[in-house]
């Protein structure tokens, strides 16, 4: 009953707001309870709560009224990984107060273990590109040393690996303050190790082998350092043997790190290697809107979509473009809009394709698989052609938001159900199969390189 009612409500709302807005904020919502006294709606994160309270609450009430639900109030539930948290206006205000406190320079007492208190699960935007990593990190935070040990996060620069890894540490410290959590970059590990040899310092091994959680960032930088790898190998064994949690980040999966010793590679792969991909359009929109909200600014939808469409490499560059826009507008006491964004970010548009075309996607996909575009668009059903064709269809949908009939037409197909099947198959495969995830990610990088 609740499900069918909410689907009807969502159907009406989708017709009255931009598609990107609907996908970003309404797609992952759920109606939990509906009475004349109170309507309870589940949303994916606390940033969505503010958007619904400020922008969508009245609209939802109007649509519910058409279905004979005259709700006096609407409550929102943050529902993540099976857990629910009721959010009122008071708790939302408290959350923003916490964010303000954390964005200030933290005192030295907060830097224990090298963790940055700004990195938390609550201010991490979850999308299809990182939902598996986010869920795994939450499980590790809840059961350190038991679930997914070691946890190996990998992906390109600026996609959120460090944020997630440190969010685990902060969550553990919050709920289990007696646990010893240490975050360190591989560069610092190498430096301290070399100093311990050079100056005959004692205690280096004990420092990292007597912790409950060790988080080491950018593991790829120790790949060509044999002595350091040997030391980390013994540290890894000591921690793992005692059921201590190990979290590692890298820009590549273990098997792709050059000159990494085989014994370390096998240990990194025995736990849970997870990749974080480039955020899709909807996730980029959500990130921009959330970051702008934290600065007390509400951007127009077209401005958000302009930024999301023109910065597709990583989250850091996306945040940099947003900060540039907000700072410029603040200095001139003006409202940040799409005209200002176009003027400021013209260099971004010149350095990357303003619009990726269907032909570019098909050509890049064909070239990646050593095929010709004509082969992908042909009627051949050989496996070595079918999979690239399905990936091309998926990219046409995810990058250009083409309709299924249009996708089918671009690939020389008459029946659009083939496109629907292909997109659904690749969406599922991306979540379950490392090879497909890697292929799609590499083709995306080539598109926007």
Match 């912790």 to its residue by tokens: 211
3-state secondary structure of 142: helix
3-state secondary structure of 138: helix
3-state secondary structure of 345: coil
Give tens-digit pLDDT for 348-366: 444 444 568 899 999 999 9
Residue 446 half-sphere exposure toward CB, CA atoms < 13 A: 17
Residue 449 vs residue 257, higher pLDDT? 257
pLDDT score at 84: 44
Q: What are phi and psi of 227, to 5 degrees?
A: -65, -40
pLDDT score at 213: 94
d(CA 176, CA 212): 11
Residue 188 vs residue 283, higher pLDDT? 188
Q: Where residue 112 falls among pLDDT bands split at 50, 70, 90?
A: low
Give tens-digit pLDDT for 286-343: 888 888 887 778 888 888 888 888 787 678 888 888 888 888 888 778 888 888 888 7
Q: Is the pLDDT assigned to residue 96 strictly greater than 90?
A: no
For residue 187, the tally of other CB atoms under 10 A from its CB is 12
Q: Of 35-39, 81-85, 322-326, 431-435, which gets the smallest average pLDDT? A: 81-85
pLDDT score at 106: 45
pLDDT score at 380: 86
Q: Alpha helices, DSSP H only, in 199-356?
A: 204-209, 226-241, 262-269, 281-294, 301-310, 315-331, 338-344, 346-351
pLDDT score at 46: 66
pLDDT score at 449: 65
Q: Is the pLDDT assigned to residue 22 strictly greater than 80?
A: no
Is it true that the peptide bond before 150 is cis, omega within 30 degrees of 0? Answer: yes
d(CA 180, CA 24): 38
What is the pLDDT averaged over residues 214-222? 90
Residue 196 vs residue 46, higher pLDDT? 196
pLDDT score at 369: 93
**Which of the listed ranges 91-95, 127-131, 159-163, 438-442 does the model predict with the highest average pLDDT?**
159-163
What is the pLDDT averaged over residues 124-138? 85
Q: Of 295-299, 343-347, 436-440, which gets the smallest average pLDDT? A: 343-347
pTM given for the model: 0.60
Q: Of 70-74, 110-114, 223-227, 408-412, which gets the smallest average pLDDT? A: 110-114
Q: Where residue 90 falls among pLDDT bands split at 50, 70, 90?
A: very low
pLDDT score at 20: 61
**Among 34, 14, 44, 16, which Cα is nearest to 74's?**
34
Q: Where residue 88 falls among pLDDT bands split at 50, 70, 90?
A: very low
Mean pLDDT of the chain: 82
Q: Where residue 49 falls among pLDDT bands split at 50, 70, 90?
A: confident
What is the pLDDT averaged over residues 145-154? 90
Q: Are β-strands 38-43 and 73-80 bridged in parallel, bridged antiparallel, or unpaired?
A: parallel
Question: Hey, CA dihedral for 103, 109, 111, 115, is it positive or negative?
Answer: negative
Percent of the chain with pLDDT over 70: 88
Give tens-digit pLDDT for 228-277: 899 999 999 999 999 999 999 998 888 888 788 888 889 998 888 888 88
- CA-based R_g, the chain, Å: 24
Which pair of structure tokens corresponds to residue 359? 């032909």
Residues 392 and 411 sit within 8 Å (Cβ to Cβ): yes
């Amino acid at each position: 009953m609740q499900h069918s009612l909410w689907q009807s409500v969502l159907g009406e709302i989708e017709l009255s707001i931009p598609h990107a807005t609907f996908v970003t904020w309404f797609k992952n919502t759920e109606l939990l309870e509906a009475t004349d006294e109170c309507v309870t709606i589940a949303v994916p994160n606390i940033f969505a709560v503010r958007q619904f309270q400020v922008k969508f609450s009245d609209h939802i009430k109007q649509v519910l009224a058409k279905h004979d639900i005259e709700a006096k109030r609407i409550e929102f539930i943050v529902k993540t990984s099976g857990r629910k948290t009721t959010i009122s206006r008071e708790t939302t205000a408290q959350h923003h107060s916490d964010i303000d406190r954390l964005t200030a320079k933290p005192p030295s007492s907060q830097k224990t273990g090298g963790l940055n208190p700004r990195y938390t699960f609550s201010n991490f935007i979850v999308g299809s590109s990182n939902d598996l990593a986010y869920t795994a990190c939450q499980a590790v935070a809840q059961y350190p040393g038991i679930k997914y040990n070691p946890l190996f996060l990998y992906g390109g620069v600026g996609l959120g690996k460090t944020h997630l890894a440190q969010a685990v540490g902060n969550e553990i410290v919050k709920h289990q303050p007696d646990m010893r959590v240490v975050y360190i970059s591989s560069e610092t590990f190498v430096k301290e190790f070399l100093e311990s040899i050079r100056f005959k310092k004692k205690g280096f091994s004990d420092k990292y082998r007597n912790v409950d959680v060790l988080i080491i960032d950018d593991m790829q930088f120790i790949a060509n350092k044999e002595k350091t790898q040997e030391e980390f190998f013994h540290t890894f064994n000591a921690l793992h043997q005692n059921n201590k949690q190990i979290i590692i980040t890298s820009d590549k999966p273990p098997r792709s790190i050059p000159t990494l010793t085989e014994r370390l590679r096998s240990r990194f792969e025995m736990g849970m290697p997870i990749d974080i991909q480039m955020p899709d359009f909807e996730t980029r929109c959500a990130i921009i809107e959330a970051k702008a909200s934290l600065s007390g600014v509400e951007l127009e939808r077209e401005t958000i979509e302009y930024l999301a469409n023109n910065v597709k490499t990583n989250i850091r560059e996306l945040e940099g473009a947003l900060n540039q826009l907000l700072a410029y507008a603040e200095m001139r006491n003006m409202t940040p809009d799409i005209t200002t964004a176009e003027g400021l970010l013209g260099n971004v548009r010149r350095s990357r394709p303003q619009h990726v075309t269907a032909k570019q996607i098909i050509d890049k996909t064909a070239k990646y698989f050593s095929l010709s575009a004509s082969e992908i668009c042909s009627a051949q059903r050989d496996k070595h052609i079918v999979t690239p064709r399905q990936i091309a269809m998926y990219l046409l949908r995810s990058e250009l938001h083409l309709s299924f009939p249009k996708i089918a037409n671009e690939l020389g197909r008459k029946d659009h159900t083939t496109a629907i099947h292909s997109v659904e198959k690749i969406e599922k495969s991306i979540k379950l199969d490392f090879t497909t995830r890697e292929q799609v990610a590499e083709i995306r990088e080539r598109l926007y390189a």
